[in-house]
A and B are shown apart, each in its own frame.
Chain A
Amino acid sequence: MSASLLLDQVTMRFGGLVAVSGLDFIVNHGEMVGLIGPNGAGKTTVFNVITGVYKPTSGTVSLGDRVLNGLPAHRITRHGIARTFQNIRLFGSLSVFDNVRCAMIPGLRHGVTSALTRGPAHSREESRLRGEILELLAIFDMSGAADSPAEGLAYGDRRRLEIVRALATRPRLLLLDEPAAGMNPTEKSQLIELIRFIQKKFDIAVLLVEHDMKVVMGVCQRIVVLDYGKKIAEGTPEEIRRNPLVIEAYLGGEVADA
């Protein structure tokens, strides 16, 4: 099994604040890994470092045998990492179709010049693209909404569209930042099914940041626990559930002692 994503001694400092410190972990091809920790533990910072929003102060992030740190965000996306956001960030006024299309376009060869000449290659590609988008929307049961603006969707649908849009970049690794936030229990169980389905259907690795333990335990094969920017534990859901350090980090020292 080849390492898909590898973080090696990654440290991220903002001025005097160390948000992430000497973090190592790997996500193997096709694996589902959870990244958990109390508020402010540095989970979203880790996502931002992996996706190129921040450049790590030291250490390396690599995907396969390619070192990613220092690359701009859009290049990293093209190398196969896609993400969703804790607070939904769709292109609100664009249609559902265009939201997905926008994520697919950067992988294509034909730009403005070929659009101007409207060559046969361009129109072939354009119709293939259209087919793929509609197919993707159909998989997620969103075909009916293809032409409506994204901002008009219901909350759960907007979360789903973010996942569809991320998948449209054809990732090898999908980062989900608190996908269950704001969902009710029914929606959460559907989400668990959805994530499992995506992992199988698209044969990708998933790195999941989530507060809801039911979702994390239900989805992940392995869990990495962060506290104050450091990895304090790593293991299967069962191991993590019993780890005293994790219990302490989440519940505070006194309670764990009691």
Chain B
Amino acid sequence: MDWGNFAQQLVNGLSLGAIYALIALGYTMVYGVLRFINFAHGDVFMIGAFAGLYINRWLKPFFTGLPEALSTAVVLLLSMGACACLGVLIEKLAYKPLRNRSRLTVLITAIGVSLFLSYSAQLIFGAAPKGFPNLFNSTTHDLPGGASATTEQFVVLGVTVLLLAALRWIVLGTRMGLAMRALSNNPAAASLMGVNTDAVISFTFALGSALAAAAGIFFAMLYQAIDPFMGILPGIKAFVAAVLGGIGSLPGAALGGVLIGLIETLVVGYSQDIGIPSGYRDAVAFVLLILILLFKPAGLLGKSEREKV
């Protein structure tokens, strides 16, 4: 066995998995407070990438002389902020009026919002893929074991870890996080204990969308091309990741994302050895979804909900 190649697949799988994890967190958080799957989330990821492209283009003149780490952080944070606003707007306009309708209504609306965002982006940005510029000088670093990683991969992994730590602190360490957890436990009781549930739901959408924007920019950094439909597959795979980890569980979503990224990369990397053509890479996640739903529907870290009588 070629350990160098294996290590390389792990590096590639981890950086892809980090992106899936960031998107999956948004699915799982929204599910936590509203109990529905926001299928427009993959399109927020796409908008995040475009926001990064244009913000970088507009601010380019101001970046001369600034260290690259700083200008990259500015692009990242502004795109996250823009998508946070977009997420709140989507929730207020599309989902909030349907708060007391059946979940199926909201789910179908989410698919509508997803199509609306994709085709609006096509109308505005054009259907052809756009090149994503290098936000910083990139080199390839050799790792022990014969693998190598690009600077982009380091940045993706490092910033993802930072974002996960920040998210953990918000959810477990702040009052807003406590309100989120209370709401996800029992929405009716939370509002009757004085928690402003609308504000908490908006905050949740903002948080999830900001993470999706970061994922969008990371994806664009790694693949260097973006298009209005780039959100569909990563969006669905991240959804599978959230289900794999246990929908509603934040550590589960992060774990699921990393696992899906690793499995997908390994299947492609070893396609000849295991006899699965690499063209099936996108099918991997869906086969996994079927297996999870058959054998462990609550997911790896999810709690199976007991029906109360």
Contacts and interface: CB of A to CB of B under 8 A. Distances in A.
Interface in B170-188: 173-176, 178-179, 181-182, 185-186, 188
B122 interface: no
A149 to B, nearest CB: 10
B191 A102 contact: no
Contacts of A201: none
**Interface majority SS on B: helix, strand, loop or mixed?**
helix
Contacts, number: 83
B175 A111 contact: yes
Interface in B194-212: 194-198, 203
A124 to B, nearest CB: 15
Given A91-B182, A102-B179, A85 B191 contact: no
Contacts of B124: none
Nearest to A101: B178
Nearest to B308: A87
Question: Interface centre among A73, A82, A102, A115, by most B CB within 10 Å?
Answer: A102
Contacts of B175: 105, 108, 111-112, 115
Interface residues of A, number: 32
A93 interface: yes
A91 B185 contact: yes
A91 B194 contact: no
A91 B197 contact: no
A103 B178 contact: no
Contacts of A78: 194
Contacts of B188: 53, 89
Interface in B248-273: none
A103 B181 contact: no
B162 interface: no
Contacts of B173: 115
Contacts of A115: 173-176
A74 interface: yes
Contacts of A99: 182
Contact of A102 (B182, B196, B203, B303): B182
Contacts of B190: 91, 102
B276 interface: no
A91 B188 CA distance: 10
B194 to A, nearest CB: 3
A85 B189 contact: yes
Contacts of A53: 188, 192
Given A98-B178, A98-B181, A112-B174, A107 B194 contact: yes
28 contacts: A53-B192, A72-B191, A73-B191, A74-B192, A74-B195, A77-B192, A77-B193, A77-B194, A78-B194, A83-B192, A85-B189, A91-B185, A91-B186, A93-B181, A94-B178, A94-B185, A98-B181, A102-B182, A103-B193, A106-B195, A108-B175, A111-B175, A111-B176, A112-B174, A112-B176, A112-B203, A115-B176, A166-B193
Interface of B: 173-176, 178-179, 181-182, 185-186, 188-198, 203, 303
Given A73-B191, A91-B189, A93-B303, 10 more contacts: A51-B192, A74-B192, A74-B196, A74-B197, A89-B188, A105-B179, A106-B196, A111-B176, A115-B176, A168-B193
